[in-house]
Structure 1
Amino acid sequence: MAVKKAAESFSKALAEEVQRWGAMKPTGVSLRYMMEFGARPTEKNLLISAQFLHKELPIRIARRAIELESLPFGLSVKPAVLKVRDWYVDSFRDLRSFPEIKDTSDELAFTEMIKMIKVRHNNVVPAMALGVQQLKKDLNLKAVPTDLEEIHEFLDRFYMSRIGIRMLIGQHVGLHDPDPAPGCIGLINTRMSPMLVAQVASEDARSMCLREYGSAPEVNIYGDPSFTFPYVPPHLHLMVFELVKNSLRAVQERFMDSDKVAPPIRIIVADGIEDVTIKISDEGGGIPRSGLPKIFTYLYSTAKNPLDENYGGVDEGVTMAGYGYGLPISRLYARYFGGDLQIISMEGYGTDAYLHLSRLGDSQEPLP
């Protein structure tokens, strides 16, 4: 009995500590701050950064762990969601049991630990998607009722917070790179060419389309290849990849049995004073107006679902179409640094996606 008691009191103490930290207020940072702070990754700056994360990460992680406990419709007790909650609690425990960071060797040990935390959370998105799917099956949803709005809002907060946690960890770890690429400060490239990123992302999406359908429409990109601005290239890659992938799929399926040549997808990169805007246009037939509000929800996908019960470890963005998370998550990535994503459709013709990226870099992280 005594053994069980000890475990129980430990978990109760841990639960109380999660509650205590979850009640604290997180601190948002801006792209500009990350850039200026990381421009000189001296030992002193790395120490300050680690001390900040030592206090900041447990707050953010505790807040999500608490939310995972109290989701509507019994989503919290779905096996996949319990697994995610355990990852969050384990990471919270690792951070809280790490002693105060006083010198460089503490800082290096801390950096190794947060690297492990980032890996532990790699499959959070597919695991949550699986949980939501288990729920949909239980509720036997043909149409998604509006009272699932609560789950949708939770997932927006949850994934936005995850982007922030991964950005902070990735940025700190990135500052340790002994040989950073020119213009790179951690994850931020101060001279990122949106044209170049769009090119690579389009090629990646086309090769996926080729694998899946045996052919792929062309992608034409218009803009100034020499134009650069500070941004996080993997974030932009993920968003453009997702949008181009959707366009390729729509065009491919619309022209599959046609004797016409599939029209190309057009990407235009415009450089404004406040925003850099990337427009992705296709002639894939568009989305009916009644379907537009659904494209940013997590409970809707027109494609067959790649997630099944024996979920192995799907990493983000591996299948051509999937659990319907590409668009809502891309919009969160855009909003994370003060941008946005809009989709305009002409049913019977095609779709235009407008990806707005704030080029001022001043907006604070939107903290859920």
Structure 2
Amino acid sequence: WQPPSLPQGHHAPCNRPPQMWVRWLPRAVRRALPPAGAASASSGCTAQFRLSCPCREGLRRAGGLGGDFRRSAGTQAPGAGIFACQDGVLHEAVACSGSESSDFLRDEIARFAPMKPHRCSLQEVLNMREPWQAAKFIHNEVPVRYAERIRSIESIPGWERSPDLVDVHSRHVTTFESIRLVKTRTKRSTFSVPELVDSFTEVVESAVGLLQDMVPRLARAAHTLHGERGDEFDSEFVDRWLDDFLLN
């Protein structure tokens, strides 16, 4: 599959991209794509393509810093940036190999983990009267707080042997990745575009869904660790760890 050669800003009907690209698309866009091998002219899905800077830097900019995406080595249209369009809303997707995207994700988590989250007062929350203001705050703050939570889980020796911790860790990584890959339609990132806020809302709703039974899972994991390895995880440690995790 190769993106067509189109002038900058030109739109044309698109065929379904390969699976390694599809998984980067927002869920709403993936649903709009035709089945593998089918044309999407009848679905109303359009695409715009642009080739540019190195993939790591392009991905790094996907968190709202603007910029283009690159071609990725080894494909005929190596790493082209995809702009999938649904209902007039453009979403950028990135073509990366599995190992490269995993490396990038680990690097991003490591980069965000030391950052200090913004202490948000009640008045600041009340001042967020417009949806785009809340979206901007979530987009900036959640990756910092989730990276800290991910590192907090990874700081527990043998956390990989706890099914509940593995599950909570995976959910946080999924949400971190989804929010970091949100991209606006223009180089100058802004949530003042109503369609973008609507699209971002879907990401947030998915994140909220992943948190539904998180606290019981954490409590069960802490109880198990305390019961099996009480010398390492006494009540004081468990209380402090849960407070730090849930109140970050």
TM-score normalised by structure 1 residue count: 0.37
User: Alignment partner of 2:247: what SS?
Assistant: helix
**Pairing 1:101-140 to 2, within 5 Å after superposition:** 101-139=191-229
CA contact (8 A) 2:226 2:234 kept: no
CA contact (8 A) 2:164 2:221 kept: yes
Q: Please name the residue that 2:151 is paired with.
A: 66
Which whole-Å CA distance do the structure 2 matches of 1:62 and 1:104 have between them? Answer: 28
Q: Please name the residue that 1:299 is paired with.
A: none
Is the counterpart of residue 32 in structure 1 residue 123 in structure 2?
A: yes
CA deviation after TM superposition for structure 1 residue 116, in Å: 1.5
Which whole-Å CA distance do the structure 1 matches of 2:119 and 2:147 have between them? Answer: 16
Q: Please name the residue that 2:24 is paired with.
A: none
CA deviation after TM superposition for structure 1 residue 145, in Å: 7.7
Number of residue pairs matched?
148
CA deviation after TM superposition for structure 1 residue 112, in Å: 2.3
Which whole-Å CA distance do the structure 2 matches of 1:32 and 1:51 have between them? Answer: 16
CA deviation after TM superposition for structure 1 residue 134, in Å: 2.5
Going from structure 1 to structure 2, the CA distance change for 1:145 and 1:26 (only over 3 Å counts) comes to closer
CA contact (8 A) 2:159 2:166 kept: no
CA deviation after TM superposition for structure 1 residue 54, in Å: 0.9
The one-letter amino acid of 1:90's match is T
CA deviation after TM superposition for structure 1 residue 111, in Å: 1.7
**Pairing 1:228-239 to 2, within 5 Å after superposition:** none
CA contact (8 A) 1:21 1:59 kept: yes
Q: Please name the residue that 1:18 is paired with.
A: 109
Residue number among 56, 66, 83 corresponding to 2:167 in the alignment: 83
**Pairing 1:138-149 to 2, within 5 Å after superposition:** 138-139=228-229, 141=230, 147=234, 149=236
CA contact (8 A) 1:70 1:76 kept: no
Q: Please name the residue that 1:9 is paired with.
A: 100
Which whole-Å CA distance do the structure 2 matches of 1:145 and 1:57 have between them? Answer: 30
Q: Please name the residue that 1:98 is paired with.
A: 182
CA contact (8 A) 1:22 1:59 kept: yes
Which whole-Å CA distance do the structure 2 matches of 1:150 and 1:133 have between them? Answer: 12
The one-letter amino acid of 2:156's match is L
TM-score normalised by structure 2 residue count: 0.54
Which whole-Å CA distance do the structure 2 matches of 1:158 and 1:76 have between them? Answer: 17
The one-letter amino acid of 1:132's match is A
Is the counterpart of residue 50 in structure 1 residue 135 in structure 2?
A: yes
Which whole-Å CA distance do the structure 2 matches of 1:31 and 1:121 have between them? Answer: 22
Q: Whose strand proportion is higher, 1 or 2?
A: 1
Task: String of CA shifts for 1:250-282, please: whole Å, max 9, x gaps.
Answer: xxxxxxxxxxxxxxxxxxxxxxxxxxxxxxxxx
Going from structure 1 to structure 2, the CA distance change for 1:146 and 1:91 (only over 3 Å counts) comes to closer
Q: Which runs of 5+ in 2 are unaligned?
A: 1-73, 75-95, 185-190
CA deviation after TM superposition for structure 1 residue 76, in Å: 5.0
CA deviation after TM superposition for structure 1 residue 133, in Å: 2.6
RMSD: 2.5
Identity %: 26
Q: Please name the residue that 2:242 is paired with.
A: 155
Task: String of CA shifts for 1:47-66, please: whole Å, max 9, x gaps.
Answer: 22211211111111111111
The one-letter amino acid of 2:211's match is H
**Pairing 1:336-351 to 2, within 5 Å after superposition:** none
Which whole-Å CA distance do the structure 2 matches of 1:105 and 1:129 have between them? Answer: 39
Query: Which stretches of structure 1, 4 residues or longer, exceed 2 Å deviation after superposition?
Result: 5-10, 74-77, 136-139, 144-152
Which whole-Å CA distance do the structure 1 matches of 2:201 and 2:103 have between them? Answer: 28
Which whole-Å CA distance do the structure 1 matches of 2:236 and 2:103 have between them? Answer: 32
User: Alignment partner of 1:61: what SS?
Assistant: helix
Q: Please name the residue that 1:192 is paired with.
A: none
The one-letter amino acid of 2:163's match is P
The one-letter amino acid of 1:94's match is S
Q: Which runs of 5+ in 1 are unaligned?
A: 162-368
The one-letter amino acid of 2:178's match is D
Structure having the higher Rg:
1
